[in-house]
Structure 1
Amino acid sequence: MRKRIVIFRNEAADDHLPWVEACNRRQGEVEAEVIDITASDWLERFHMKNYDLVLLRPPGRTELFKRLYDERAHILYNYAGVPVYPSLNEVLIYENKRFLSDWLNINNIPYPQTRVFFDRKEAMEYAGSGVRLPLVAKTNIGASGNGVRFIHDKKELYDYIHNAFGKGVGVRTGPKLRKGSIAGKLIRAFTIRGFVKKRMGEYRASYLNPQRGFVIFQEFVPHEFEWRCVRIGDSYFAHKKLARNNKSSGTLMKGYDPVPVSLLEFIRETTERTGLSSVSIDLFERDGQYLVNEIQCFFGQSDPYQMLVDSVAGRYRFLGQKWVFEAGDFASNACYDLRLEHALGLIRQ
């Protein structure tokens, strides 16, 4: 009997479509329906059928819809009586740098020193305390380097704080023509009903909702690359995101160098200890130590693979107390196929 799956889409026109594609590829095993989690009748629609699995796709554009999605994910995870994927912790961490900094701290995971200020006076005192520059300012939401700003002098720092507690600080918005396939973007525009109108509404919402009332500052870590590590179930991947002007996110420049065993061990220990099983972890190397910069349960993928070993695509697994490389296409459909396989495995247990 096929498993009945519900996909809770967010406010975006197409974020959930890779989930739909993953389910379509396993039609003999699953049947899937989509519910808009932002709709007023989302729970009524959910209660109309008995589902075996809930698939989530949280948003990452505005605080308003991210907060809404987190609240409703919390309800589903704790009260729906149906397995939810990814986990609630993975959803809460997603596109929430403010939450992530405290989460890393309480779990004793090394990360670049980060300070979050909700008080303007406290932030200004910090700026005048001899803080080392340059400093990295981040918005709470902002993928692919959006919302990241390097602050090089005191005047720039004071101005940033003044704006953050006044008119607000925002992220770049609008179509990212240099990322992804132009043909793919055009196909979505012409084949998905209301896609362009919906997308323009998303851009407008991002522009009209700058971040106000708090600031996030992170110490600057000089680097030539950032490791992008992925764990989905028992599959592990890693590659280098090469930096341009000390920024790795959004450059789309990759390095498929040999993966150190120490890196795999760090990712395995960190995720096992904290209960994460479907995430990407971006981290720096400094003085022989790994520093976690980002954790996301959904992430961009510009290549058809997440890792190459001797020019061969594949994954690592930890089997028999050792790391084993398995060649194969394990990152198809931007890793959503692997996520679905992992989720179905969890409900079979």
Structure 2
Amino acid sequence: MKFSRTIIALENRLKSCRNVRTLGVKPQFSDYSPEERLAILEAPTVYYPSSWYAELFDTMGKPTFPSHHTYRFAQDKIKQNAIFDLVGIPHPATRIFYGPRQHKSILDHFDFPFIAKTPRGSARGVGVYLIHDERELGAYLARCRIAYIQEYLPIDRDIRVVVVANRLLHAYWRIAPPGEFRSNVSAGGSISPESVPWQAMDLALHTASRCHLDDVGIDICRKGEGFAVLEINVKYGKEGFLKAGLNYSEMMENLIEHGII
């Protein structure tokens, strides 16, 4: 494949792409060499700039991929829940309780068991708890001043759908191991080749479009007769691509070369 342009990226997401020059994320812009600074400033788009530089580039009017808007929702479940409520994305019943005074009302809204999550900064199944009783709830509240509480859905699998630039890149089932309520691959979950229902893929595309997310892994589960969005992941893993024999780097190279991203 012959590439017509080389693009600039900061984070390592595209490091294996042959038409991408990855410079790394440095704490200060002055840490880049003069040649690197010029390359960044002259690049029409800076790819995977990190949440720190995405905000700065947005302020100065420089386009990035993913967008600054997409980075806003990275590892922030409170913002994710808020936007789902605002734009009508189906999701499990969720409520946020701020501080000890509001913690006292959790059991007025939820019955055991329910899910409790670390609201910010967690990923890959870390910081997700199945709460069975008041003792477990107390232990969770001792760790999290802001309580993110979500209804428990008795499922053993969910669907990961990767959407890039409003295109469905890949979709697959994730199955929880025996005795585990989380289906994350990092928590021991397995990837199933079973076909993904079109309704789930449509919901993912609708969610990405409605929430203006241009590169995202969307976790979806069955809820009743339909589907619901569990959460979104800006820094999603590539295990599902490998399992399906898909070359993620080549897919991204093609999207770049054809001007799609």
- Name the TM-score, length of structure 1 as normaliser: 0.64
1:71-124 CA-to-partner distances (Å, cap 9, x unmatched) read x3122134243x311122222222221221112111210111222222221112
Q: What amino acid sits opposite 1:219 in the alignment?
A: E
Q: Aligned ranges for residues 1-349 of structure 1 at < 5 Å?
A: 3-9=5-11, 16=12, 18-22=13-17, 25-26=18-19, 32-39=21-28, 41=30, 47-49=37-39, 50-56=42-48, 58=50, 69-70=51-52, 72-81=53-62, 83-127=63-107, 129=108, 131-139=110-118, 140-161=120-141, 163-164=142-143, 213-233=145-165, 234-244=167-177, 245-249=180-184, 250=186, 251-305=188-242, 307=244, 331-332=246-247, 335-346=248-259
Q: What amino acid sits opposite 1:79 in the alignment?
A: M
| Structure 1, unaligned runs of 5 or more | 10-15, 59-68, 165-211, 308-312, 314-330
CA contact (8 A) 2:83 2:211 kept: no
Q: What amino acid sits opposite 2:84 in the alignment?
A: L
Structure 2 match to 1:327: none
Distance 2:69 2:212 in 1: 9
Secondary structure of the equivalent of 1:144? Answer: coil
Secondary structure of the equivalent of 1:291? Answer: strand
Alignment CA distance shift 1:292-1:42 (3 Å): farther
1:131-159 CA-to-partner distances (Å, cap 9, x unmatched) read 21112111122222111111110232133
CA contact (8 A) 2:200 2:220 kept: no
Q: What amino acid sits opposite 2:251 in the alignment?
A: L
Distance 1:57 1:296 in 2: 16
Q: CA deviation at 1:303?
A: 4.8
CA contact (8 A) 2:168 2:205 kept: no
CA contact (8 A) 1:7 1:56 kept: yes
Secondary structure of the equivalent of 1:94? Answer: coil
Secondary structure of the equivalent of 1:98? Answer: helix
Alignment CA distance shift 1:4-1:77 (3 Å): farther
Q: CA RMSD in A?
A: 2.7
- Name the TM-score, length of structure 2 as normaliser: 0.83
Q: CA deviation at 1:343?
A: 4.1
Q: CA deviation at 1:281?
A: 0.8
Q: CA deviation at 1:285?
A: 0.2
Q: What amino acid sits opposite 2:68 in the alignment?
A: L
CA contact (8 A) 2:158 2:221 kept: yes
| Structure 2, unaligned runs of 5 or more | none
CA contact (8 A) 2:172 2:240 kept: no
CA contact (8 A) 2:81 2:94 kept: yes
Q: CA deviation at 1:262?
A: 1.9
1:150-183 CA-to-partner distances (Å, cap 9, x unmatched) read 111023213322x13xxxxxxxxxxxxxxxxxxx
Distance 2:228 2:192 in 1: 19
Q: CA deviation at 1:258?
A: 2.0
Alignment CA distance shift 1:131-1:347 (3 Å): closer
Identity of matched residues, % = 20
Q: What amino acid sits opposite 2:38 in the alignment?
A: M
